[in-house]
Structure formats: C-alpha cells, structure tokens
Amino acid sequence: MLFDDVVGHSAAKLSLQRAVEQGHINHAYLFTGPSAVGKFIVARAFAAAMLCPDNGCGECNVCRRVTLEKHPDVTVVRPAGKNIPVEKIREIRLDAFRKPSESDIKVYIIKNAERMWEEGASTLLKVLEEPPGNVVFILVTANPGALLPTILSRCQEIRFTRIPPDELKEYLLTTRDIAPERADLVVRLTGGVLGRALDWCDEPWRLTRRDNVIRAARALGRADLNRTLEMASELLRDVRAPVDELVSRYQDKKDGLADGSLDNRTVRLLDKDLDEECRREQVKEEIRGVKEFLSTLSWWYRDILIWGEGGDVSLLVNRDLEDEIASESEFLNERNLLECIDMIGESMRAAEQNIPAQLNIESTMLGVQGVLYA
C-alpha cells in the first residue's frame, strides 16, 4: 500500500485510510506541519488511495500515474516564484465543474497554499463554499495562519509533526544503504525532518560540507584576517557547488528541447520558462546552503557549550566528533559561546532576507572570530 511507504505520521495515515475505506471523504483537507516533513507525499498517496480501485495499492496503473503526477484527475498546484497565480486558481475553479476524465473523483493538491494572495484565496473560497460533488481539495501548508479563516473553517485539518528519531532511523536503515552510526548522525542533524534526512543520505557531500565548516571554525583561533577571508571563500564555494550543478541540470533540460519534436515557438517559450525556473531555484538553493552552513556552525558551538557544562554525550548533535568537541571546550567560555550562537541566529535571519551569501558567510566568520578569540 502507498501509505505504508510513508514513514511516520501514523495517526494522519490511519484517519485518511479509514476515510477512503468507509467512503467518508470530505471536500477539503488542510495538511499542516513543518516543511519537508512529508505532508505532500501523504497528500499524493491519499489522492492515489481515493482513485485506485484497491484504495491505494501502490502498484496499479492509477497509483503509478498519480505518484508521477501524470494522472488527468489529480492536479498539483505549486507556487510560481513567490505566489500561486490567481489565473491558476481560476482555471481550477472552472475545471472543478467538469467531469473527471477516468475516475469518479477529481483531486486538487495545492502546495504552499498560504501563497495564494487575496484574489486567489477568495476565488478558491467560492469553490469551497459550494463544492461540486466529486471534487476533493488538499491544501498543504507549513503556515496555516496565513490562510483566510473562512478557508480554514471549510477544511478538515490533518496535522503532521516531526518523525520520532527511532522511527526515522529505522526507515533510513531499511531504505538506504547506510551504516547505523551514520543514520544516527543524519537523524540528529536534520531534526526528524524526513525530506532533509533523505537529502543527507542521498547527497553525501552534505556531510563533507559539515566537516569543512567545522574544520574552518576550529582554525579561526589561529587565522589572521587574510586566512579567515580565504576560509570564508572556500565555504562559499561549498555553498555554490550544488547551485552550479543545478545550472548544468537545467542546461541539459534546455538542450533536450531541441530534439525536433517541438515547433520553434514552443521551444522558445519553454526555454524562457526553464530560464526563469532555474534562476528561482538558484536563489533558493543558495539560501538553503547558507542556512545549512549557519546551522552547522550553530550546532557546533551548542555542542561545545553542552560539553563544557558537563553535558551528556547523547545530547550532542555531532556525536562522532566527541574528541574535537572536548578539546575545543577547554578554551571557550560559556558566555562567549552563547553570544556566538545569538550572532549566528542574526545571520540566519539575514539569509532569509536574501543578504548576499558571500557577505553573510564572511561577516559570520569574522564575527565569531571576534567574539571567541579576540
């Protein structure tokens, strides 16, 4: 069953599965909880379960096409850039009144639903107020407070929480080729967020990147200004590497357009779309990289702080670096460490406001150096 492939969220899965089996399906659901925790995967599994003759077997043609987002009766809406265009919601409103193509039901999954601005939201509200009989909406959001209360009140809320560490570890061990200590580390570093944990398993360079950040942090005590800036630019290179890879992936996609199966005008349009999408993704990936750098740094100083307090090894995030943590804690004092962690928090907020990556990394490194080693 498709639901069995989803780790954690047993209460959510049970209630959705039951709704499908008993045929008590609501017109609108609101999936809430932290981002990357698995809401969307469950939404898709739920859509498949509603359409599949076997309540979501995971193997039939219906399940497969829903999972690949290729089923005509399941529409997935994602924001284009910062918002979900109102035109898209208007399209859905019209489409909702057309008969399903193959099934008895049509499903609309709206990702980041909080990014419907006023007009889009009120358009959707009109459908939710008098929904056609065979239509189900699933609104997925990490920030339900940003949705209209009138929309919220028409949806059944399904809450998602972080996955308990043991459950996540077990899942990583059974689905990924990974050693138990490594799985432990990934679970701690990603705080029970499934999407991130999978990234850490599938992209081993993330761990190398963590090691580079910690090595640089440990070298700060001995580094002069030039060396510190040099280290900052090495860390920036780490942050940019996946961004460069993304650009080359988009280039491949663009090259694929010119295989002669499309007319020139369509190729030009798609090419432009891909360029825009690539630019947006680049910005996102770079912010993500900077935030990962900052959180690695922050966890590192937190570990030293805990160790210095005589804390328990099991509380450390970077448990594999126990010796290094112990040796750092001899030189660093609690007040300065706390100040550093605060400062890194500031840098985190700056990253969200799109401060250039280079500036952010440099000023954080210099700031930490000033506090800890001046």
Between residues 3 and 160, which has the closer beta carbon with respect to Zn ion?
A: 3
Cα 311–chain centre separation: 31
Of residues 175-204, which lie at the interface with Zn ion (CB under 5 A)?
A: none
Return the structure tokens found at 247. 């650009």
50 near Zn ion (CB under 5 A)? no
47 near Zn ion (CB under 5 A)? no
| Among positions 63, 138, 155, 239, the unique one binding Zn ion when judged by CB under 5 A | 63
The DSSP bridge pattern shows strands 74-77 and 135-141 to be unpaired
155 near Zn ion (CB under 5 A)? no
Angstrom distance (rounded) from CA 227 to CA 132 = 65
| Among positions 12, 30, 49, 52, the unique one binding Zn ion when judged by CB under 5 A | 52
Q: Is the dihedral of CA 263, 267, 273, 277 positive or negative?
A: positive
Between residues 57 and 80, which has the closer beta carbon with respect to Zn ion?
A: 57
CB of 13 to Zn ion, least distance (A): 16
Which stretch in 49-57, 150-158, 187-195, 329-337 sits in contact with Zn ion by CB under 5 A?
Answer: 49-57
Between residues 60 and 247, which has the closer beta carbon with respect to Zn ion?
A: 60
- Residue number of the CB closest to Zn ion reads 52
Q: Residue type at 189?
A: L
Between residues 65 and 182, which has the closer beta carbon with respect to Zn ion?
A: 65
| Among positions 25, 60, 86, 274, the unique one binding Zn ion when judged by CB under 5 A | 60
49 near Zn ion (CB under 5 A)? no
DSSP notation for 252-313 = HHHHHHTSSSS-HHHHHHHHHHHHHHHHHHHHHHHHHHHHHHHHHHHHHHHHHHHHHTT--G
Q: b/e map of 246-259 (b: 16 or more CB within 10 Å)?
A: beeebeeeeeebee
CB neighbours of 236 closer than 8 A, spacing ≥ 6? 357, 358, 361
267 near Zn ion (CB under 5 A)? no
57 near Zn ion (CB under 5 A)? yes
* Positions that interact with Zn ion (CB under 5 A): 52, 57, 60, 63
